């Protein structure tokens, strides 16, 4: 038996002396040196009593050392549990306790606050800072640079990722070696990554996008990464000439477009720009193509599945869609009540099946049974539509569906209409309680920079072009929409804010 994920992502490059990681200070690490560091982390984990299958919870800043810890966990057979750096101690207590973590790694500045949580849950606490220092680093420094890789099966867990928990208790998605490796292979094939590629990596690595998409793809392809701690427009523009590809969230691209230094010449050498984690506005697509000549490639994934679909590398990258199913992945749009597949063009709940689909929810067999069918299809909860050409569009979350006076209202349809109005940068449409209709529509608009929106004109357009039951009963202008760290609009916060307006 081998270790599928480690053998595929790391071992093939152990003899290479080419640069693998370029950090923000211009320091480089070769594939071989990185593998040596991963082995030291694997030895350190073993020295701390971490056994195969144990969970290692990490709440640390992005750094080359954090990535080596991930590799060391894979090599030692441990289950990697990355946690959002924005989480508070109260939130972390749930994740550490629920996962039964054997080791909890945090930033040195948090150690005092998090020690009681570790002690209460019987796990060891060690620290690792963004600059690579900490008590875990001290232990790693004294370890050997070779390690007997722990054998794992394709169905063994490699990672545990918790969902955002905006609709209740956060659920731990169990991701296996097969899940992560199959997805990386499909993406390398579809997006044409090779050892000649250099990825500008400015995403966080506590999230599937930055870790299991961006990083795993480059590890499998054998390319290199410019590994930045965060998205900083000045640094990204400075380092972009060294890259061939970039993965980002929509905010990355809108911020670049707002900077006059981002020009056709600066992007001319790039092979590919990819966007995900939140919907990309059609206007952003158009502005980006007009500025650079590049058409952003948009794709779709979830915590439970990693990537499911992608717009084509060759062929039309259609704005407002997330393309076609990846190799080995099946998608279908189904009736939310019966589960029956719907005819092309109708809106329903998206279901996906493939080797990328997670094993289930950690310690939640009932929830797993609710959302993972016996035939392997996962009920995503996303509302979707497949057009006549086979392109998939995500029109919203099932929980975002508005039912007003018995009519189904899809927020995405209204948002697209509002986004097209003069001066509107973006919009969010939600349903809130209404005494007569059950729910009614509220629209929140963000104006373009320096623009004063003509709300009367927008409301007149709504009255003219939208059916009465779809029209917002309240339209408000705000400076910005609430978002999570990956750029997704937090509609639950908007629903809370406007819950009592009617």
Sign of the Cα pseudo-torsion (67, 185, 196, 312, in order): negative
> Any idea of the CA torsion for 165, 170, 176, 180, to the nearest 10 degrees?
20
What confidence score (pLDDT) does residue 158 get? 98
Q: Please say if the pLDDT value at position 248 is more than 60.
A: yes
For residue 168, what pLDDT band results from cuts at 50, 70 and 90? low
pLDDT interval class at 16 (50, 70, 90): low
Other CB atoms within 10 A of residue 240 CB: 18
Query: Which single residue is written with the structure tokens 């550490």?
Result: 96
Question: Of 158-172, 182-196, 242-256, which range is least confident?
Answer: 158-172
Point out the least confidently predicted range of 169-183, 355-369, 431-445.
431-445
How many C-beta neighbours within 10 Å does residue 318 have? 19
Is 70 exceeded by the pLDDT of residue 167?
A: no
Q: What percent of the chain has pLDDT over 90?
A: 78
What is the 8-class DSSP label of residue 61?
-
Please report, for the chain, how many H helices and E strands are present, in that order: 17, 25
pLDDT in tens, 346-393: 999 999 999 999 999 999 999 999 999 999 999 999 999 999 999 999
**Higher pLDDT among residues 99 and 410, named by residue:** 99
Q: CA-to-CA distance for 348 and 389, rounded, in angstroms?
A: 17
Higher per-residue confidence, 112 vs 408: 112
**Cα atoms in the 13 Å half-sphere on the side-chain side of 498:** 24
The yes-or-no verdict on residue 128 having pLDDT over 70 is yes
Strands 55-59 and 79-82, sheet pairing:
parallel
Q: 28-69: per-residue pLDDT in tens? A: 999 989 999 999 999 999 999 999 999 999 999 999 999 999
Rg of the chain (C-alpha set): 23
Predicted pLDDT at 14: 53
Asked whether 323 and 311 are in contact (CB, 8 A), the reply is yes
User: If we measure between CA atoms, which residue out of 311, 79, 326, 296 comes closest to residue 185?
Assistant: 326
Look at 137 and 251; give whichever has higher pLDDT.
Answer: 137
Q: Give the residue ranges of DSSP H helices in 208-263.
A: 208, 216-221, 233-239, 250-257
Burial class (CB in 10 A: 0-12, 13-18, 19+), 202: buried
Give this prediction's pTM: 0.85
* Residue 266, both tokens: 């600066």
For residues 452 and 135, what is the distance between their CA atoms, to the nearest angstrom?
Answer: 53
Q: What is the DSSP string of 77-115?
A: TPEEEE--TT--HHHHHHHHHHHT-SEEEE-GGGHHHHH
Comparing 9-13, 70-74, 75-79, 294-298, the range with the smallest average pLDDT is 9-13
- Least confidently predicted of 117-121, 408-412, 423-427: 408-412
* pLDDT above 80 for 13: no
On whether the CB atoms of residues 352 and 377 are closer than 8 A, the answer is yes
Given a cut of 70, whether residue 165 has pLDDT beyond it is no
- Structural tokens at position 31: 């594939």
In this predicted structure, what is the pLDDT of residue 90? 82
What integer is the mean pLDDT of 115-144? Answer: 97
CATH ID of 401-497, from 3.30.300.30, 3.40.50.620, 3.20.20.70, 2.60.200.30: 3.30.300.30
Q: CB–CB of 310/318 below 8 Å? A: no
Distance CA 297, CA 275 (A): 6
Residues in the chain: 502
Question: What string of DSSP letters covers 453-488?
Answer: --HHHHHHHHHHHS-GGGS-SEEEE-S---B-TTS-
CB within 8 A of 420, min separation 6: which ones?
none
| Domain assignments of the chain as residue spans, ordered by start | 4-16+25-177, 401-497
Q: Which two tokens stand for residue 198?
A: 């250099």
CATH number for the domain formed by residue range(s) 4-16+25-177:
3.40.50.12780
Phi and psi at 348, nearest 5°, equal: -160, -170
Is the separation of the CB atoms in 307 and 186 below 8 Å?
Answer: yes
C-alpha span between 198 and 194 (Å, rounded): 9
- Cβ(175)–Cβ(359) under 8 Å? yes
pLDDT at 344 over 50: yes
């Amino acid at each position: 038996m081998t270790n599928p994920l480690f053998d595929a992502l790391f071992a093939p490059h152990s003899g290479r002396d080419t640069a693998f990681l370029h950090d923000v200070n211009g320091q480089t690490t070769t594939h071989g040196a990185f593998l040596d560091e991963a082995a030291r982390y694997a030895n350190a984990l073993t020295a701390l009593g971490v056994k195969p299958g144990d969970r290692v919870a990490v709440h640390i800043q992005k750094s080359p050392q954090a990535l080596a810890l991930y590799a060391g966990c894979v090599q030692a057979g441990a289950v990697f549990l990355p946690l959002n750096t924005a989480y508070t101690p109260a939130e972390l207590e749930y994740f550490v306790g629920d996962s039964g973590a054997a080791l909890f790694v945090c930033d040195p500045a948090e150690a005092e606050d998090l020690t009681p949580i570790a002690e209460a849950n019987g796990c060891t606490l060690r620290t690792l800072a963004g600059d690579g220092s900490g008590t875990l680093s001290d232990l790693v420094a004294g370890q050997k640079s070779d390690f007997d890789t722990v054998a794992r099966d394709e169905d063994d867990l490699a990672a545990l990722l918790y969902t955002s928990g905006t609709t209740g208790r956060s659920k731990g998605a169990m991701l296996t070696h097969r899940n992560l490796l199959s997805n990386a292979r499909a993406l390398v094939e579809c997006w044409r990554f090779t050892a000649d590629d250099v990825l500008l990596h400015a995403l966080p690595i506590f999230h599937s996008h930055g870790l299991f998409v961006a990083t795993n793809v480059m590890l499998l392809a054998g390319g290199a990464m410019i590994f930045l701690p965060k998205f900083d427009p000045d640094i990204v523009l400075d380092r972009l000439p060294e890259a061939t590809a970039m993965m980002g969230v929509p905010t990355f691209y809108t911020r670049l477009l707002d900077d006059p230094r981002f020009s056709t010449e600066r992007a001319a050498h790039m092979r590919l720009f990819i966007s995900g984690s939140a919907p990309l506005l059609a206007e952003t697509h158009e502005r980006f193509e007009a500025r650079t000549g590049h058409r952003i490639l948009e794709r779709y994934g979830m915590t439970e599945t990693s990537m499911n679909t992608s717009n084509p590398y060759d062929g039309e990258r259609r704005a407002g869609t997330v393309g076609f199913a990846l190799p080995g992945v099946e998608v279908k749009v189904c009736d939310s009540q019966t589960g029956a597949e719907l005819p092309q063009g109708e809106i329903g709940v998206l279901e996906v099946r493939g080797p990328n689909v997670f094993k289930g929810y950690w310690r939640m067999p009932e929830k797993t049974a609710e959302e993972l069918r016996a035939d392997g299809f996962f009920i995503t909860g996303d509302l979707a539509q497949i057009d006549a050409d086979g392109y998939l569009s995500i029109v919203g979350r099932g929980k975002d569906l508005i039912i007003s006076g018995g009519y189904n209202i899809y927020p995405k349809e209204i948002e697209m209409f509002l986004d097209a109005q003069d001066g509107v940068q973006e919009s969010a449409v939600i349903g809130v309680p209404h005494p007569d209709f059950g729910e009614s529509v509220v629209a929140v608009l963000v104006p373009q920079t320096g623009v004063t929106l003509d709300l009367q004109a927008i409301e007149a357009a709504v009255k003219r072009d939208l059916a009465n039951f779809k029209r917002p009963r309240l339209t408000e202008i705000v400076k910005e929409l609430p978002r999570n760290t990956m750029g997704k609009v937090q509609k639950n916060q908007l629903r809370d804010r406007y819950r009592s307006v009617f």
